[in-house]
Amino acid sequence: MALIDPPVVDRAARRHRWDTKFSPYAYVTPYFLIFGVFGLFPLLYTIWVSLQHRNLLDEGGARLVWFDNYAALLADPYFWNAMGNTLSLWLLTTVPQILFALGIAALLNRKVRTRTLFRMGVILPNITSVAAVTIIFAQLFGRDFGLVNWVLDLFGAGQIDWQAGTATSHIAIAVMVVWRWTGYHALIFLASMQAITPSLYEAATLDGANGWQQFWRITVPLLRPQIIFTTIIATTGNMRLLAEPLLFNPGAAAATGGSDRQFQTAALYLYEQGFTKYDFGYSSAIAVVLAIATIIVAGLGYLVTKRIQTE
Amino acid sequence: MTAVLDPPAPVRPAPAAGRARRLVKRVAGPWTYAALIAVLAGSAFPVYWSFVVSSQTPDAIDSVPPVLVPGGHLFENIARVFDTTDFALALTNSIIVSGTVTVSVVLFSTLAGFAFAKMRFRGRNVLLLLVIATQAIPTELGIIPLYMMMSEFGWAGEIHAVIVPGLVTAFGVFFMRQYFERAIPDELLEAGRMDGCHSLRLFWHVALPAARPAAAVLGLFTFMQAWNDFFWPLVVLVPENPTVQTALSTLASGYTTDYTLVLTAATIGTVPVLAVFLLFGRQIVGGIMSGAVKG
């Protein structure tokens, strides 16, 4: 026995050492392998493609043209139109989302009966599919038989052709986005509101501050980190809206975002160039510019929300 | 939107005096209830209305004043959807895609999350930082090269082109890592090691059972997200081999002007996520409020 024992222990120890040293890498490898190949690589490769003339419909194949795509982009009125629409929709979606979410969170933060029902109710829009819901909303916003126009008609407003105008189409699309995301942000805010110590409000009440003042002077300033975070998250989402403008007016020319491109976003223009005209180089340039624009706008959002302060 | 953060609590929850709670945590009055019910109605209305239209005859959608109560033609309309389009194939594809992606994301996230939270190895912090950083990047912006790759592989138009890029998410890894960090005491794992447990056994017998609640929440989010995914399937699939979402898009794009048909399809496509939501709504709410930020 004594002769056999030591090697066994030795082998077990070696196996243990080998195990602790290498198995962590084995555990994280699937993630990095798949993400590296199908996530990170395409993202970085976009920059390279954006420097090429590469159109599937051209026989010649790809060739390096450096910044030609970018030069063409900056001179392209459709691109600027799409960027303008993107910024307009960003403003029309992000600001109401955050304000409504704060309000709903404040309501949910009261002692409410059947609170699970209300909490589930507010995130119901978030779990529905964007394709299905956009198709539903497109009907609700229909010109002749849409429910929205019918309700407005009760109040004496005329028939609005929501898709036709720039402002009206942006409002309709913003409604869809705000509807989808407000409740979700409200739950994030609610979680933080519940962590605020009640004695702050008690003191404020003794000082004669009413609920409205307490909300703006205590709740909102203390929620600053969440408001900043939500603004950035909402911005990255709202700067690349695609399904809503694509399906708002589905049809053969859907990728143009309306007959006059009145609601074509930058992401939709990327789709149009890439997958209806197969101009991969140009489309990649749009992706790069959109990414940079998103970072700038998110930074802007950060600078604005950072200024929220306690009095 | 793909990102995660633990919402940092601005103020630690302090044990409140009973009196303070009474003063502050106002009991909701009738106006609060009225407002909340209005929000609830607004949230549910579009889905409800879609269901109403699906259960009516085709002329109901054009009627003035609008029809707001369900009728008796639901099954008739469902039958028409399956007759006019290959919606059965779309449903099958969506189930295969969402099912595979969910199992894979949960498994790989749990493995990697466990390693990041409970194992020491060279380069761990750098790699974890990489995971966190990639969460903030909208990977859709790499859609052109991804499409080029799929064409190269001969996968364009096939559902594995949708499945494979979805097999892992940075969100999942970070989410599980956060959970393991808090849920399993190091002593427990040390004890297991002392007993000569191989790390895969530790993972299987200690970590995995402990991870079940978090893995369930991650699975729910992943399933719903995969089911609803639109942009990438739209790009890489063909109308003859769709998921539910791309089939809806094709159906709405002038294939028919019968909007009752389109909305019935939208209703059918919403039912699976709605069922998951009604069954596990409490867990989903809890997941979001505890800092699970999905996108």
Whole-angstrom CA distances from B282 to A106, A119, A223, B97 are 20, 9, 24, 25
pLDDT in the model for residue B167 = 96
Q: Helix crossing, A77-108 with A115-127: angle to 10°? A: 170
Classify residue A245: in a domain, yes or no.
yes
For chain A, how long is the longest CA-to-CA vector? Answer: 100
Q: Residue A75 has which token pair?
A: 């001179």
Element housing A64 (H / E): strand A63-64
- Residue A205's domain spans which residues? 77-306
Instruction: State the DSSP H helix or E strand holding residue A214, giving kind and residue range, or none if neither.
Output: helix A211-214
Q: Read out DSSP for A101-161?
A: HHHHHHHHTSB-TTHHHHHHHHHHHHHS-HHHHHHHHHHHT-SSS-HHHHHHHHTT-----
Q: What was the pLDDT predicted at B222? A: 95
Question: A194 lies in a domain?
Answer: yes
As to burial, measured by CB atoms within 10 angstroms (0-12 exposed, 13-18 middle, 19+ buried), residue A281 is buried
Chain B CB within 8 Å of residue A122 CB: yes
CATH 3.100.10.10, applies to B73-289 = no
Cα separation, A276 vs A270, in Å, equals 10
- pLDDT greater than 50 at residue B8: no
ipTM of this model?
0.90
Boundaries of every domain in chain B: 73-289
Tell whether the model's pLDDT for residue A177 goes beyond 60: yes
Distance CA B221, CA A249 (A): 29
For residue A47, being part of any structural domain is answered with no
What is the chain A residue with the closest CA to B10? Answer: A222
**What's residue A7's pLDDT?**
53
Nearest CA in chain B to A203: B20
Structure tokens that stand for A260 in this block: 């006059």
- pLDDT score of B46: 95
Give the integer Cα–Cα distance in Å for B145 and B160: 17
- Give domain status of residue A34, yes or no: no
End-to-end CA distance of chain A: 79
Asked if B263 lies within 8 A of A254 by C-beta distance, the reply is: no
Do the beta carbons of residue B155 and residue A51 sit within 8 Å?
A: no
B34 contact A CB<8A: no
In-domain check, residue A113:
yes
Pairs of residues, one from chain A and one from chain B, whose beta carbons lie less than 8 Å apart:
335
User: What is the per-residue pLDDT across A293-307, written as a single tens digit (0 to 9) for each?
Assistant: 999 999 999 999 998
Mutate to test the interface with A, among B144, B195, B284 (most CBs of A within 10 A): B144
Give the residue among A264, A144, A103, A227 at the shortest CA–CA distance from B42.
Answer: A103
Query: Would the CB atoms of B127 and A28 count as touching at under 8 Å?
Result: yes
Give the per-residue pLDDT at A8: 56
How far out from the chain centre does Cα A75 lie? Answer: 28
Total number of domains in chain A: 1
CB of B279 within 8 Å of a chain A CB? The answer is: no
CB < 8 Å to B115, chain A: 23-24, 27-28
pLDDT at A159: 84
A40-94 pLDDT per residue, tens: 999 999 999 999 999 988 877 888 999 999 999 999 999 999 999 999 999 999 9
Question: Is pLDDT above 50 for B5?
Answer: no
- Nearest C-alpha of chain B: how many angstroms from A234? 8
Look at residue A62 in the predicted model and tell me its pLDDT. 86
**Cβ separation B120–A24 shorter than 8 A:** yes
The helix or strand, by DSSP H or E, that contains position A30, with its residue range, turns out to be helix A5-35
Q: Helices (DSSP H) in chain B: which residue ranges?
A: 18-24, 30-54, 74-84, 87-118, 124-135, 143-153, 160-163, 170-183, 186-194, 199-202, 208-210, 212-228, 231-236, 244-250, 259-289
- What per-residue confidence (pLDDT) applies to A36? 93
The pLDDT value given to residue B14: 45
Specify which residues A64 forms β-bridges with: A52
Q: How far does the CA of residue A274 sit from the closest CA of chain B (Å)?
A: 7
Q: Percent of chain A beyond pLDDT 90? A: 68
Nearest to A197 among B16, B145, B170 (CB): B16
Q: Which of B20-24, B55-59, B102-106, B165-169 has the lowest mean pLDDT?
A: B20-24
Give chain A positions within 8 Å (CB) of B227.
129
> Does any domain span residue A63?
no
CATH of the domain at A96: 1.10.3720.10
Which of residues 150 through 189 in chain B touch A, CB cutoff 8 A? 164-165, 167-168, 170, 173
Interface membership of A155 toward B (CB under 8 Å): no
**Whole-number pLDDT of residue B10:** 42
Comparing A73-82, B29-38, B80-89, B249-258, which segment has the lowest mean pLDDT?
B249-258
Tell me whether residue A177 is in a domain.
yes
What A212-220 contacts at long range (C-beta under 8 Å, 24+ apart), as own/partner pairs, is A215/A106, A217/A310, A217/A311, A218/A310, A219/A102, A219/A106, A219/A193, A220/A102, A220/A308
Tens-digit pLDDT profile for residues A85-133: 999 999 999 999 999 999 999 999 988 888 899 999 999 999 999 999 9
Interchain contact A75–B (C-beta under 8 A) = no
Residue B199 has pLDDT above 90, yes or no: no
Q: Both tokens of residue A145?
A: 């038989």
A242's CB contacts (< 8 A; 6+ apart) are A265, A267, A268, A271, B230, B231
Question: Exposure string (b/e) for A26-59, b if CB count within 10 Å is 16 or more?
Answer: ebbebbbebbeebbbebbebbeebbbbbbbeeee
pLDDT in the model for residue A78 = 97
d(CA B94, CA B233): 10
pLDDT tens, B18-56?
A: 444 444 567 778 899 999 999 999 999 999 999 999 999
Q: Kindly state whether A277 is in contact with chain B, defined as any CB-CB distance less than 8 angstroms.
A: no
Residue with tokens 């709670």: B21
B245 contacts in A (CB within 8 Å)? 129-132
Q: B171 vs chain A: nearest CA distance in angstroms?
A: 11
Token readout for A11 is 């082998």
